[in-house]
A and B are shown apart, each in its own frame.
Chain A
Amino acid sequence: MTEVLSEQVGRGSHSGALLEVEDLHVEFRTRAGVAKAVNGVTYSVDAGETLAVLGESGSGKSVTAQTIMGILDMPPGKITGGEIRFRGVDLLKLPEDQRRKIRGEGISMVFQDALSALNPVFPVGWQIAEMFRMHRGTSRAEARKKAIELMDRVRIPAAKDRVNDFPHQFSGGMRQRIMIAMAIALDPEILIADEPTTALDVTVQAQIMGLLAELQRDSNMGLILITHDLGVVADVADKIAVMYGGRIVENAPVHDLYKNPAHPYSKGLLESIPRVDHKGQELYAIKGLPPNLLEMPTGCAFHPRCPYRRDNCVTDVPPLYAISGTRGSACHYWREVIDEGER
């Protein structure tokens, strides 16, 4: 922890969770108009907790993550409201040089495609060692030793021999392990994994998820797992936030949501997972297309695709109705959705 972090962020006197995103609004100003990518997202992660953020492309899940990291391209992006509190301090109000120190050390990130997220002209060991040299000023030899230790920790076989290899000499799963090694190098308190397994084979996906879960247990990190794949998160996540059209439409402890979703969209997602016991039947698909961010539907963004739609869905934006202390659904008719699930 650098001095800045301990002074600015490290008092530990705040009462909320380790990382809290509150009512975040982000839009993109394009030639075609203003695209509202994130419209009032609120979620929080505590140490040792795993939050899965679920949603399809364009739902705003990655933009939220980029905003937390402070790597959103501005312009065209613009944060129009909200707060991101890390240990109680609003990151959006911190000057850039202090935010930079938090990146990698306080909050870190794993990217989707590790091949393109690793610099092709440097050996992987050099790139991991660079984390120590950059943030801690560690000596070259010492940093290299730590890089090998980290490669061992993410279970790269024969780490000592492979430390001088280049990213393209590794398989996809190994590359993602290296990316993870870089991200956890400085023991961050929060790790954001943006679709970490999407570019990988199914068998390798399970290994990477297992590795992430294990690293999280060992170091008590808060983990934000961004994905569009419900199957990936079931075993790993503690709670789930389902995003649609830049909003959170349902948040729930993971088992509650799997057992009985409270929003038509989450329900649709669950029903569209292929299941062995439904073999031979047509696979369910949510009808229609994701919303156009330039022209969001009025009222509930999901209403054009929703089987539960009534007249007021077209006009009234549903708030996030509290179902219980830990659960919420942004559907006017969430009771109906839940009741149907219980029948």
Chain B
Amino acid sequence: MSDPTATQDLIKGADEPAASPVAVRDNQRSLWRDTWDILKRRKIFWISLVMLVVFLLMAAFPSLFTHKDPEYATLAKSMELPSSDAWFGYDLQGRDVWARTIYGARTSIIVGVLATLATVLLGGLTGVVAAYFGRWLDAIISRVGEMFLGLPYVLGAIIILGTIAPAQSNPGKVTIMAVVIIVLALLGWPILMRIARSAVIQAKHQDYVQAARALGAGPMRIIFKHLLPNSLAPILVYSTITIGSFIGAEATLSLLGIGLRSPVISWGIAIADHKDYLRTGPHAMFFPAAFLSLCVLTFVMLGEAVRDALDPKLR
């Protein structure tokens, strides 16, 4: 090494053309930065993001969208069609459909997000543990997951909900929602466990995990600093899509009369309450159903956009 700095500059210079122009301009390139660069060029991402913001505003501040009380009922106006006074008309009890649809967003999104969060925690934790420690622990977790996966979704929900929250009982709002969230998470965790498990198994055999061990890292550090950050992408993508499907699942359970129920306001309940009046007053069912579809679509679209951006093969 006669003149190390000179040679090194040469090496550094030779390396640059291989990197994309973005790398030269932007020093902070990483997986997430790359993903963001791709995402921001995508129309579908911006559309779903705007819709998401609208739905989140609806859930957080329903009074921004309506000044009417969703609980206030005027039976005389039962099933009245949409008018300038009430944009979405009135439902069977004579309540404002617009107000109830707006207020329904909160329940649906809370149930979807919390159930997904519980699923990610339960599924992610079991998946990481199964993959990292392997052997008999992996075998037990995987088999238990398969048992839950083998239960048909609706059947499983009917059995569990029918047992812990029978239709005759009269629990409060929070209890009903908590029960539904727990059931959704209980039936949904195995898929996330499998995703987390396979992602961690893949990351586990990378050289940097062995290198970290060789430099003195313990199991916790390896899991949290090396395995988790490198397996986050598939978990994140699936979670986004799961929020949408859980919102739909909640509506299904409510429609069957075993999920949420009054006094909770939700799209599923509104659909269930008016399914018999489809021919005389379709508006009472149509608007909540349309909002439900749009909300599910928002999360699924967002999830797909993120997945496409994270997939290196599509770059």
Contacts and interface: CB of A to CB of B under 8 A. Distances in A.
Interface of A: 69, 71, 97, 100-105, 108-109, 111, 113, 116-122, 130-131, 134-135, 155-157, 164-166, 168-171, 173-174, 179, 182-183, 203-204, 206-207, 210-211
Given A113-B207, A130-B225, A171 B12 contact: yes
Interface secondary structure of B, over-half rule: helix
Interface stretch (B42-50, B94-102, B216-224, B283-291): B216-224
A108 B214 contact: yes
5 contacts: A105-B216, A117-B207, A118-B208, A119-B208, A206-B1
Interface string B193-206: 00000000000001
A120 B31 CA distance: 8
Contact of B207 (A111, A131, A157): A111
Contact of B8 (A116, A119, A155, A168): A155
B15 interface: yes
Interface of B: 1, 4-5, 7-9, 11-12, 14-15, 19, 23, 27-31, 206-208, 210-218, 221, 225-226, 229-230
A77 to B, nearest CB: 13
B300 to A, nearest CB: 27
Given A111-B207, A164-B27, A69 B214 contact: yes
A211 B213 CA distance: 24
B31 A109 contact: no
A322 B12 CA distance: 49
B215 A131 contact: yes
A100 B212 contact: no
Contact of B230 (A121, A173, A174, A207): A121
B217 A109 contact: no
Given A111-B211, A157-B5, A166-B29, 9 more contacts: A103-B213, A111-B214, A121-B230, A122-B225, A134-B217, A134-B221, A135-B216, A155-B4, A155-B8
A97 B216 CA distance: 10
Contact of A169 (B29, B213, B218): B29
Nearest to A214: B1
- Listed residue (A113, A168, A179, A211) with the most chain B CB atoms within 10 angstroms of its CB: A168
B27 A109 contact: no
Contacts of A165: 27
B229 A109 contact: no
B213 to A, nearest CB: 5
A258 to B, nearest CB: 23
A122 B11 contact: no
Contacts of B27: 164-165, 169
A246 to B, nearest CB: 21
A203 B1 CA distance: 10
A314 to B, nearest CB: 38
B215 A104 contact: yes
A290 to B, nearest CB: 23
Given A118-B208, A164-B28, A210-B1, A104 B7 contact: no
B236 to A, nearest CB: 13
A134 B15 contact: no
B8 A100 contact: no
Contacts of A179: 211
Contacts of A113: 207
B213 A71 contact: yes
B1 A100 contact: no
A157 B214 contact: no
A170 B216 contact: no
Given A118-B211, A119-B208, A207-B1, A100 B11 contact: no
Contacts of A130: 225
Nearest to B233: A121
A183 B216 CA distance: 10
Nearest to B32: A121
